[in-house]
A = this chain, B = another copy of it.
Amino acid sequence: MTQDTDSIGVVNTEIVRLDLPEGGFKLDDGGCLSEIDVAYETYGTLSEAKDNVVYICHALTGNAHAAGRHEPPDPDEPDAWWNEMVGPGKGIDTNHYFVICANILGGCKGTTGPSSIAPETDSPYGSTFPNVSAGDIVNAHVLLLKQLGIERVAAAVGGSFGGMQVIEWVIRFPDTIDHGIVIAAAVCLSAQGIAFDIVGRAAITSDPDWKGGDYYDSGSAPTQGLALARRVGHITYLSREIMADKFGREKWRAGQSDSVPDSRIDKFHVETYLEHQGEKFSRRFDANSYLHITRAMDEYDVASQYGDLKTAFERVRSKVLIVAVSSDWLFPPEQSEELANALLTAGTRVSYCLLNAPHGHDAFLVDVEYLSEVIRAFLPWVGPRPDSRRIGLKGGEENVDRVKRRDLHKISQLIEPGSRVLDLGCGNGELLTRLAETSGVQGVGVDIDIHHVIRVIERGHDIFQADIDSGLSMIPDGAYDYAILSETLQAVRKPHLVLNEMLRVADQGIVSFPNLGYWRNRLRLSMFGRMPTTSLDAKPWYETDNIHPFTYRDFIGLCRQDNIKILDTVCLTSGLLGRIFVATGLSNLGADLVLIRVAKE
């Protein structure tokens, strides 16, 4: 995917001392820093209007080196951590955007942290380094931007703890950010996630070399504890499946390899891998930074910080994209859904996307094919947009654009201009685009297919990737004027539930469905003794998606039973006979597609 694009080339890290306000940099937890250096890198070119800035917030143990290469390379970290995503023609396209990534406050990669020299004492902070929060970290990001002469970013993007920084950014500095992209993150870490961090921190603080945090001048460092903490962390970044694939139960036999630590005894591959990861990490990272940053992550909690999620998210002015990874168990999809739900409830423009990837939490670093597409589709393109920028989704375009629904025109006629519309099973967003163009409607889609999701986002609409059958719990009561089920109700597993959910989240529903009562269908069963499917879809009975076929009359019956009012009915048909039936009032016989506008009594 990156073969035909240019590499980003050599980029070295810059360090800048922030201009701090009078009295220093006040921290959320009450502390203060009188001096802050920030290490950062930039890729691409800042536009004259300064409207093409994409800011990358790195995760727990990342650094400013998101892309390109250092000259000379760092032997412990030869590769930039997000080269797959950032570069010419990539998901975050450096031909178009000016990309910034800075090491976070409290880190150990050039930005002020516990291992930095405290100006007050002229020796390393060590145990005296104050607690920093996710908010402090974002505050430093915004100060860096200011120093670079930038008032506003087109987008900030981050995965894991980086995603938490983006969440905090859109809340705390709403006027500095247009788009927020939150990947594999949440409004707080789960109890299980905290538990793993607790174990990791305990491993460090029980290492005799930690010395209460003041080890910098002692000639040794708590590398054993830090390595142990890293091993625990590393397990949580991978899914069980990928660990089984990668290592299984394979062993290094004693003496098999000189490169294996302690090669005198048999070891599982996973053992030597974790030992290697831990040992490498303890060479390149500072134990106190690990303590501070994991603590900042554990303590981050939007609800408790702002009172509740709604209060917090009502401050947001950005469009937000939430991306979850199916196999992530550190920040599981449920938590991303919770975040998306809360943003929606607060009235934010939000899209939610679930990537099907086996790698676990680390997928956002290593399995970027679909992630690149989603980010590319969501990022605001400044100036004329090339016709087709998408790569790596072979066949996707045909797939999503094939479906042409003949009820779309009729549906758009039933909708009042300027209303709030939810399109359930929105497909590639054709109806949403039509409504936006003809009625100025800002609609939201729901669909399960990732190709549809990418296309709808690219068209500029908001979308929730979800299975309608699981209910619409992410959508608050009465959030929409209209909810639409276009040729979808007969294909869901629980039509009754879906119909009622539809009228919970919207004042009115518009339902279109193929009519099993259409004369050709009746003929097929009564005369030919076959299940009528051909007029419903192209698939035979044993493969049809239409698992709950019903007639116009059946639908009326259900509406009566559930006290659902019928406001409008449109009967679509074809052929002379169908038209005659409809004209003479025999709609259940004549209509092959029925479109009904409904509301609760």
Q: Which A residues contact B (CB, under 8 angstroms)?
A: 188, 190-192, 194-196, 198-199, 202-203, 206-208, 224, 228, 231-232, 235, 238, 240, 243-244, 246-249, 268, 270-271, 274, 298, 301, 304, 329, 332, 493-496, 499, 516-517, 521-523, 525-526, 528-532, 540-544, 547-554, 557-558, 588-589
Q: Say whether, besides A516-B531, A526-B525, A198 and B271 are in contact (CB < 8 Å).
A: yes
Among B192, B235, B495, B532, the residue within 8 A (CB) of A240 is: B192
Q: Which residue of B lies closest to A329 (CB)?
A: B240
Q: Using Cβ atoms and an 8 Å threshold, which residues of chain B touch A530?
A: 517, 551, 553-554, 557
User: In the complex, which residues of chain B have a beta carbon less than 8 angstroms from the beta carbon of A188?
Assistant: 249
Does B517 lie within 8 Å of A525, measured CB to CB? Answer: yes
Q: List, sorted by A's number, 16 A–B pairs whose CB atoms are closer than 8 Å.
A: A190-B240, A191-B246, A191-B270, A192-B243, A195-B243, A198-B231, A199-B231, A206-B207, A517-B529, A522-B529, A529-B552, A530-B551, A530-B554, A530-B557, A531-B550, A541-B550
- In the assembled complex, the CB of A499 is this many whole angstroms from the nearest CB of chain B, namely 8
Contact across chains for B195 and A270 when beta carbons are under 8 A apart: yes
Chain B residues within an 8 Å CB radius of A246: 191
What residue of chain B has the Cβ atom nearest to residue A198's Cβ?
A: B271
- In chain B, what residue has the closest Cβ to A553? B529
Q: With A203-B203, A525-B516, A548-B542 as given contacts, are A268 and B194 in contact (CB-CB < 8 Å)? A: yes
A521 to B524, CA, bound (A): 12
Partner of A195, one of B274, B298, B516: B274
Q: Which of B195, B235, B522 contacts A192 (CB 8 A)?
A: B235
CB distance from A153 to the nearest CB of B (A): 30
- Kindly list the 7 A-B residue pairs having the minimum CB-CB distance in the complex, ordered from nearest: A547-B547, A526-B526, A517-B529, A191-B243, A495-B542, A529-B588, A191-B247
A232 touches B199 (CB 8 A): yes
Instruction: Tell me, in angstroms, the Cα distance from A298 to B247 when the chains sit together.
Output: 14
- Cα distance A529–B540 in the bound complex, in angstroms: 21
A207: chain B residues at CB < 8 Å are 206
> Which residues of chain B are within 8 angstroms of A549 by Cβ–Cβ distance?
531, 541
* Shortest Cβ gap from A585 to chain B (Å): 13
Selected from B224, B240, B332, the residue in CB contact (under 8 A) with A206 is B224
Residues of B within 8 A of A557 (CB): 530
User: Once the chains bind, are B190 and A301 in contact (CB under 8 Å)?
Assistant: no
Distance in Å: Cβ of A323 to nearest Cβ of chain B: 20
Identify which of B228, B521, B553 contacts A203 (C-beta below 8 A).
Answer: B228
Closest Cβ of chain B: how far from A229's Cβ, in Å?
A: 9
Besides the contacts A195-B270, A329-B329, what 9 more A-B pairs have beta carbons closer than 8 Å? A191-B240, A191-B249, A192-B235, A192-B240, A192-B244, A199-B232, A525-B551, A529-B589, A547-B548
